[in-house]
Amino acid sequence: MPQPATGSTEGETFPAVCGHTHLFPGARCRLQGLPDPRAFAADPWPIGVDLRFSDVVGAEAELRTDDLAGPVLAVPAYTTGAGTKIEGRTWLVRGVALEGDEVELTIGSRAVA
C-alpha cells in the first residue's frame, strides 16, 4: 500500500459527498481531504468514509481493500431525509478516479456476503 505524503491515513475518516439520497450501481461519491489523492486513486487503502447524501443525511461507512474482488464500501443502515429506511449494505467499488484534489468512487453491485 502506498503511503501518502503526510503519513498513513489508515484508520482515519474522510468526508465523501454523494449525488443521491442512497447508493446504487453507478452512483458516485467524491472523497475529500485525502492528503495524497493521486496515490489513493492509484492504489486505495482502507479508510473510514463519512458519507453525505444529497438530502444532507450522513452515514459512517468503511472503505475496505482486503476483498478479492477489489475495494468495497460497507455502509450501515440509515434513514433518508424523507424517512425511507435503507438497510446496511456492502458495495463493490467499480471505479476509483482522481478528480482534481478529490477521488471519485463509482459504486458497483452489492458485494456477495
Question: What was the pLDDT predicted at 68?
Answer: 86
Question: What was the pLDDT predicted at 7?
Answer: 43
**Assigned C-alpha cell, 96:** 476509483
Q: Which residue, among 44, 51, 45, 48, has the nearest Cα to 16 in the 3D structure?
A: 51
Mean pLDDT computed over 33-52? 97
- Residue 32 CA to residue 26 CA, distance in Å, equals 19
Q: How many CB atoms lie within 10 A of CB 12?
A: 14
- Residue 104 CA to residue 102 CA, distance in Å, equals 7
- Residue 104 CA to residue 41 CA, distance in Å, equals 8
Residue found under cell 459527498? 17
- Give the mean pLDDT of the chain: 91
- This prediction's pTM: 0.88
Kindly tell me if the per-residue pLDDT of 76 is higher than 80: yes
Mean pLDDT computed over 66-87? 94
Question: What was the pLDDT predicted at 9?
Answer: 56
Question: What was the pLDDT predicted at 2?
Answer: 44
